[in-house]
Amino acid sequence: MPIINLPYGKSAFNSDKLREYIQSTGRDYIIQGQVACTKVKHPKHSSLDYWLRDYAQNLNTKQAVNEVITALVSTGEFAEGNFICPDSGEMCKGVRIVQ
């Protein structure tokens, strides 16, 4: 259960919780979806950035920055890649479960 620190606001999350969330969607991946906007106006509700806002001290600051992707990959439980965004239908950067 690796803990991943978020770079903005002294927050963190358990990567096992992310794995559970991804599996609950019926997919084995989640797109990064980082957007500089409020959570209410976030256009990608299926993204890591949207999901992470619930763990952040400031839910109106983007959280799924590249450092978070790198930290997830470094756990060995996720791999970076490009995947179809469930919200836009376009190919987007994200992570998939590998274990």
Host H or E run for residue 93: strand 91-97
Q: Tell me what pLDDT residue 9 has.
A: 72
Residue 98: per-residue pLDDT: 96
Tokens describing residue 13 = 């999350």
Query: What is the model's pLDDT at position 49?
Result: 97
pTM score: 0.94
Whole-number Å distance between alpha carbons of 97 and 76: 9
Q: Tens place of pLDDT for every residue, the chain, 99 residues? A: 799 999 887 899 999 999 999 999 999 999 999 999 999 999 999 999 999 999 888 889 999 999 999 999 999 999 999 999 999 999 999 999 997
